[in-house]
Amino acid sequence: MTSILKVDSIQSSSGTTGLTINSSGFVKQNSIYVSAGITGLQTLTSDTDTLVNFDDQIHSSGLTWDTTNKRCVFDATTAGRYMITIGIAFFSAGNNMELAFIKPHLNGAAIRTTICLQNGQTPSALGNLRHFYGQSHLIQNFASGDIFNVYARIDVPSGAAHLHERQYGSEIHLVRLGD
């Protein structure tokens, strides 16, 4: 004898939907993610780690990027394992970029230093390097109360150092992986 259970969702005893079933009969996963970008040119002091100004939340579902404090704060609902992609468009008006780092931070400490560009020669043997795009990818576990943000660094011997806005690739994505 075969039994058929016809439901659109399964809820916890408190009434919170735990599973949703789509019209094809597959369980629809509730994705938790956020992405943010930089809206304008951000000036950095050469040879100094600087908090990246991710000041525009672009997309979100269940997770929020704090555009005032440039960070993501996790709670009991959002804690878990995340895939993180960080893209930074570095810019040197003096065409003399020598070093570029992306440094994701967890609770005030760097959890990775991604070297996006390193020139071992002074003066720059790379020539007139004005724009450079770097990425950092990681998988990280977050607990309730954890704070995540991103720092970047550019070294230039003279002139200004900047991060370009989102239209040039400066954005961050955090996507929770299946539990």
CATH number at 119 reads 2.60.120.40
- pLDDT (0 to 100) of residue 166: 87
Beta-ladder partners of 161: 44, 92
Q: Is residue 80 part of a domain?
A: yes
Q: Which pLDDT score, from 0 to 100, does residue 15 have?
A: 65
Residue at 42: amino acid letter:
Q
Please name the residue that has the structure tokens 């735990």: 18
- pLDDT, residue 120, reads 62
What pLDDT is recorded for position 57? 97
Residue 1 lies in a domain: no
The count of structural domains within the chain is: 1
Residue 114 in domain: yes
Cβ-Cβ contacts under 8 Å for 66 (sequence gap 6 or more): 72, 73
Q: Is the pLDDT of residue 124 over 80?
A: no
Range of the domain at 105: 31-176
User: Length of the chain in residues, anyone?
Assistant: 179
Cis previous bond, 104, omega within 30: no
Q: Which of 13-27, 61-75, 158-172 has the lowest mean pLDDT?
A: 13-27
**pTM metric for this prediction:** 0.83
In a domain? residue 87: yes
